[in-house]
Chain A
């Protein structure tokens, strides 16, 4: 069965800390891996990764994919309270090419 596993499930840090969120997957017919940030309502798109070893970066956020070891990490440096959210990892693949979501990591950044 295709699955996506995120860790940790939740995390509490202080402003200025650096965090690493993990996403591992077992998905047949892998096409891409996506990261979303969800703050109370709609998940907003962060990154889409298709190739191993190529880092994607946006401000203080960066992400990389390892297709050999079947995982991705999302790094957030110099965290701010506005980074508090659920971070969702999803993999496109499987028999029907749909997005398969992990359970998410709840990040709380304290002042």
Chain B
């Protein structure tokens, strides 16, 4: 079954701790994305990667870091520098091209107290 998996589904952390969210895809997609979703604000792009070993900042990259060592994997680290980390995090992937859709994972709900 092809798709995108994210783990864990729910994550709780204390303030000041770094936390890494997992995203894996077996769709053979080149591009992968991380979004954050807050109530009333839609999806905002954190980081994206169009090819292995390369990634770019999105609109709200501060306090986050990523790596893309393998085509299938694009983990996101929420660092202690992120001022308001509690949110729903969605990972997506897509093929390249001028018109293409993104496929989303099930998301991770992170709560930091």
On chain B, the residues within 8 Å of A90 by CB distance are: 43
In the assembled complex, A110 has its CB within 8 A of some CB on chain B: no
Please report whether the interface of chain A is mostly helix, strand, loop or mixed according to DSSP.
strand
| Complex A-B, nearest 7 residue pairs according to Cβ-Cβ distance, in ascending order | A42-B104, A103-B42, A101-B43, A41-B106, A101-B42, A32-B99, A42-B106
In the assembled complex, A98 has its CB within 8 A of some CB on chain B: yes
Output the residue of B43, B58, B104 with the most chain A CB within 10 A.
Answer: B43
Q: Smallest Cβ distance from B36 to chain A, in angstroms?
A: 11
Number of interface residues of A (CB under 8 A): 24
Please tell me if the beta carbons of A104 and B42 are within 8 angstroms of each other in the complex. yes
On chain A, the residues within 8 Å of B43 by CB distance are: 43, 88, 90, 101
Task: Say which residue of A34, A45, A103 sits within 8 Å of B41 (CB atoms).
Answer: A103
Q: How far is the CA of A36 from the CA of B48 in the complex (A)?
A: 19
In the assembled complex, B66 has its CB within 8 A of some CB on chain A: no
In the assembled complex, B18 has its CB within 8 A of some CB on chain A: no
Q: Smallest Cβ distance from A93 to chain B, in angstroms?
A: 10
Task: Say which residue of B44, B56, B105 sits within 8 Å of A42 (CB atoms).
Answer: B105
Q: How far is the CA of A81 from the CA of B69 in the complex (A)?
A: 43
Q: How far is the CA of A34 from the CA of B44 in the complex (A)?
A: 16
In the assembled complex, B40 has its CB within 8 A of some CB on chain A: yes
Please tell me if the beta carbons of B101 and A48 are within 8 angstroms of each other in the complex. yes
Q: How far is the CA of A102 from the CA of B98 in the complex (A)?
A: 20
Report B59-113 residues with CB < 8 Å from chain A CB. 90, 98-99, 101-107
Q: Smallest Cβ distance from B35 to chain A, in angstroms?
A: 8
In the assembled complex, A62 has its CB within 8 A of some CB on chain B: no
In the assembled complex, A7 has its CB within 8 A of some CB on chain B: no
On chain B, the residues within 8 Å of A42 by CB distance are: 4, 90, 104-107
Q: How far is the CA of A45 from the CA of B4 in the complex (A)?
A: 14
Q: Type the 1/0 row for B44-56, where 1 means its CB is closer than 8 Å to any CB of A.
A: 1100100000001
Asked whether A43 and B104 contact (CB < 8 A) given A88-B42, A103-B41, the answer is yes
On chain B, the residues within 8 Å of A98 by CB distance are: 45, 48, 58
In the assembled complex, A67 has its CB within 8 A of some CB on chain B: no
Q: How far is the CA of A31 from the CA of B94 in the complex (A)?
A: 15
